[in-house]
Structure 1
Amino acid sequence: MTDSTDSAPEAPAGVDTEKPSSARVYDWYLGGTQNWAVDREFGKRLEEQWPHVKPGARHNREFMNRAVRAALDAGIRQFLDLGSGVPTAGNVHEVIREELGDGPDAERATVVYVDYEAVATAHATLILERQGATGWAGHVQEDLRNPKAIFHHPTTRRLIDFDQPVCLLMMAVLHFVGPDDDPDGLVKTYRDRLAPGSWLALSQMSVGGTTGEEAEGVRNFAAQYRNTQNPVWLRDREEIERWIDGWTLLEPGVTHLPDWRPDRELTAREAKARPFAWCFVAQKP
C-alpha cells in the first residue's frame, strides 16, 4: 500500500469533494487513493493530535486481511462486511481475488459490503464496476443498527445464503455504536442470524490497559468525534469478551490487532499503536 498525497481520483457522480468524509479519511490512513485534499487535511489534523491513528488503522486492516484468509482456508466462501467504508486498499474482495484467483475456473466467493454513508456507496459502486466484481461483490447502503433491512436487502439476498456459513466482519465499527443503541443486543441479532460454522471477526478501539499520557491521548482522539455524525466509544477487554458468548474462540484468543496470527514484524512506530484496540475471531458451534 502506498500513501496518496496529491492524487485526485475521479469523483463518483453526486459526491461532494469539498467536505471531508470519514470513509475517505480512513482510506487515506490506509494508504489508499480514494481520497481528496480535504480528506487528507482532516486526517493530518487528527494525526497531529494522536500519532497512532494511521498505524492503528493499518493494524486493523491487516488483521481483517488475515482473518479473511483464515476463513477462506477454513472453507468459508461468504463475507458480510459491516461498516466497510470505501472498498479499496486491501479490502475483502481484493484479498479473495489474491487467494482464489479471478479466471473463469476460479473458485467463487461472495462479498456484501455495508455502509450507511452515501459517499462510501458511490465510491464502492464505481470501484466494483471498474474491477469487474459486481457479479460476486455488492454494496448495501444501510446503517448496521438496522440489521433487518440489511438481511432483506436485494443485494444481500442475491449474494448471501444464511443457511450456509458466513464470515461476519465487524471491523472497527462497533466503536461507533453507543450504549443507547444496545451494542450487546445488536451483536446478538447478527450472531443469531448466522448458520453453524459461521465466523465473527471483530475489532474495537480501546484504551487497551494504557495509563497516563497514552490513555489520555486516545481518549482525546475519541472525543474529537463526539460532536460529529460518527461519535466514538472506547471499550475495554471485558466488554468485548461478552460478544463471544458461547461461541468457540479461535486461537490465539482475544488479542491486540497485530498479535492475531501475525505474519510480519512491526516497526518501532507501529508497535507503539499496538495497545489501542482489541480483536478476536470466534466460530458458531
Structure 2
Amino acid sequence: MADAAPKSPSTTPVGVDITRASIARVYDAALNGTNNYEIDREVLRQVATVAPEVADLAWANRNFLIRACRFLATQGQVTQYLDCGSGLPTAENTHQVVQRLQPDARVLYVDNDPVVLAHGRALLEENPQTRFLEADIFDARQVLHSDLARTFLDWDQPIALIQNGTLHHYLGQDYAEVMAAYIDALPPGSFVVVAHFLDPQTTAHSEIARRMEERFTHSPMGSGVFRTREEIRRLFGDTELVEPGLVLCEDWWPDGPRYTPLNQVQECIAGGIGRKG
C-alpha cells in the first residue's frame, strides 16, 4: 500500500507566508515532520533531482547535534546553551538531550520564523529552564544585547553556542565575522558547535556539492552554500577544536561501528566543536 501524501498543517500561524519556503520548514520536511507546506517540500524535490538522498543532510545534522549535546552535558559539564536557529520542535531537541543529563541546564533558543516561534513557545511553556528569543541569529548584537539573553544566561560561566545547520544559509562574505562577534562575547571555558554544508574538494563529491548548492540557492528557499573545510574552520575563530576536529558530521564520535558506507550526501556536511580558552 502506498504511503499517504504529506499533509500540511490544518491551521497557519499568524505571520506565516505559505507561498514562500522557510528554512525551518524545509528542514522539518526532510525529517519527516508535519509542520511544513507544499512550497517547502518542493525545495527538497528540486534538490532530489541531483541528489536523491538530500534528506540525509538534515538527518546527519540532527544526529550530530544530539551527540554534541550529550558530550557538552557530560564531558563538558555545560549547564547553559544558546541555540541559534533552533528550527521546529521535533524529537530530541537541545533542551531534551541536555536536561536529561543536567536537569538544571538552561537553554535559550533563538529564531525569528513565525512557525518556529508559535510551536516552540507552546512546547516550552511548561519548562522553566528553557526560553525562546525572537531575533535574527545572524545579528549577534541583537541577540547578545537582548534583555532575555543578558538575564536568563550567566555570562560569567561557560555557555555552549550552537549554530547547527544555520550558517550555510548566510550568503554574505562576512560569514565568519558573524561568529566572531558571538565568540568574543562568550566567557572562557565556553564551547562553540557548528554544522555546515561542505564542499569536500574531492573529485568524487565536489560536483554533487555544487549541484546541490545550485538547486538550493535557486529554489523557493533561496539559500544553502557549500563551503570548504578551510572556510568552515574560520567559523570557530581561535577556539581549540575538540577531537576529532572538524570532520564529517557522521564521523564526529559516531554511536557505533559503521557497516554501511556513507552516501554522497553524507559526505557533504561537516561539524565540530571548539572550546574557548
* 1:169-184 matches, cutoff 5 A: 169-180=162-173, 182-184=174-176
How far 1:68 sits from its partner (Å)? 0.8
Inter-partner Cα distance in structure 1 for 2:184 and 2:104: 25
TM-score by length of 2: 0.86
Structure 2 residue aligned with 1:103: none
Contact 2:158 2:187 in 1 (8 A): yes
Structure 2 residue aligned with 1:122: 118
Inter-partner Cα distance in structure 1 for 2:85 and 2:93: 12
Inter-partner Cα distance in structure 2 for 1:222 and 1:251: 28
Contact 2:180 2:237 in 1 (8 A): no
Per-residue CA shift, 1:21-59, capped at 9, x if unaligned?
Answer: 321120121233333455334433433332232112111
Structure 2 residue aligned with 1:235: 227
Aligned partner (choices 236, 241, 244) of residue 252 of structure 1: 244
Amino acid of the structure 1 residue aligned with 2:230:
E
Aligned partner (choices 96, 99, 103) of residue 98 of structure 2: 96
Per-residue CA shift, 1:95-138, capped at 9, x if unaligned?
Answer: 124334xxxxxx31111111232232222222223xx22x2212
**Which deviates the most, 72-81 or 46-55?**
46-55
Inter-partner Cα distance in structure 1 for 2:170 and 2:42: 26
How far 1:83 sits from its partner (Å)? 1.7
Structure with larger RCO (C-alpha < 8 A, sep 6+): 2
How far 1:267 sits from its partner (Å)? 6.5
Amino acid of the structure 1 residue aligned with 2:198:
S
- SS of residue matched to 2:133: strand
* 1:52-131 matches, cutoff 5 A: 52-73=53-74, 74-100=76-102, 107-129=103-125
Contact 1:30 1:89 in 2 (8 A): no
Percent identity of equivalent pairs: 30
Is it true that 1:13 corresponds to 2:13 in the alignment? yes
Structure 1 residue aligned with 2:200: 208
Amino acid of the structure 2 residue aligned with 1:160:
L
Structure 2 residue aligned with 1:163: 156
Amino acid of the structure 1 residue aligned with 2:213:
A
Amino acid of the structure 1 residue aligned with 2:216:
Y
